Chains A and B, each alone.
Chain A
């Protein structure tokens, strides 16, 4: 395969990406600019990009409801990172174990499979009764959403490890421990990374849900409460910050993935 052709295609895609992004921005500018006496869409529904930018600068300067923008962002990040880290630390090893051991899988499969399709936000009122209105309920709701995805995909990743690779390791004299550490675990990493990235998007979504009730801080809370006062600019700033957050986290995960599982999807 020609490497140059591949990178040429990649380069072309990037230009199209940029063009697509700029067209959206241009559309936004066009419908919010007053050509005549008023813009196509009223500022109450959609403020102009410049107005949103100015609101953003004001928020940085003055904060929102007595708390700085950094505080709101920090508390959102804290909730997300704590929940995400906890899930990865528990769900991935558990999923690996389920993949290695039929008994463990038989025990843990039913609760995970039953809870998987359940909309976790529906549990939020219950979690608030159980854990109160503090941070615990918010972290738990995110964990509940991510846990089944990560554990099941770690299990599937183990079960998908090529039989020949395991046989080769056995024929080379590797112990069970060495087969796990140096064959099954690394061979599962590409699959695990894929679901980690899925979980980043879902985690940010769950964060928005968790911040909609019983809190007075967080980026999603800021957007939610601003909508009560029809502060559309603030709502949009909040939405864009969440989008940027999700996108940057995904970029970090992708960079980590390319670095650690550089062999992913390639056979040898």
Chain B
């Protein structure tokens, strides 16, 4: 929901900073960042490469610990991975040795569901992402776009309270990406799961997000927050609207500035 609504805070970064390494070689990846993610919001993090957006997501996922501050979910500090937080990766995270169906049933089985129940849940989410007829196939038999759908169904199968998605479509071709964006939008509109989504693509962020958080070059800070209105639209043509184009130019300007800074940082090293 847009900022200003009185809504429950699903997840919060409370003065979270991250430093990699020690001594003079240490790299400050994130300045202390405070960010609230409202329940049912679709928050997109955009920023130049190396700005620490993945680090931020990994801290909320519980894969990494903050150097200072903490990530909270429902007011509780994050202490390691938890099935209430579903994670979708860019690629290479599917269990290659399991059928598509077993991949999706993995979470329900891990969280104590019976085999039959897990299979029912897997079937339901495979239908949601349109892969019912591929249940018995193996991930390597699927296209990149279908593999990402499996990853999404697998994360949804635990019915998590928040979805953390780290550039899930970055490795896909443009047409597949657009179709999947529409599909994600449909899934989000019907489930209203809280989502934290990392992307390089400004269009993707504008098309999907209720909140866009623009980050600065390293060390990552929050440079701006925007609340586009296109996430609730069902029309794929919103991308051609004047408002969409205006916001795109605005974010593009901000990111260009940061990307140049990032480049100068690289050159200075």
Contact = CB atoms under 8 A, between A and B. Distances in A.
A167 B96 CA distance: 15
Interface in A179-214: 182-183, 186-187, 189
Interface string A159-184: 00010110111111111001000110
A174 B138 contact: no
B111 interface: yes
Contact-residue bracket for chain A: 20 to 34
Given A162-B93, A173-B110, A187-B97, A263 B83 contact: no
Interface string B89-113: 1011111111000000011011100
A268 B94 contact: yes
Contacts of A168: 87, 89, 93-95, 154
B216 interface: no
By size class, the interface of chain B is 20 to 34
Contacts, number: 91
B82 interface: yes
Give the residue among A165, A173, A268 with the most B Cβ atoms within 10 A: A268
A182 B106 contact: yes
Interface of B: 61-63, 80-83, 85-87, 89, 91-98, 106-107, 109-111, 138-140, 142, 147, 154-155, 158
A168 B93 CA distance: 6
A261 interface: yes
8 contacts: A162-B93, A165-B95, A169-B95, A169-B110, A171-B81, A171-B155, A263-B138, A268-B142
Contacts of B111: 172-173
A4 interface: no
Contacts of B61: 167, 171
A266 interface: yes
Residue among B93, B98, B107 with max Cβ neighbours from chain A (10 Å): B93
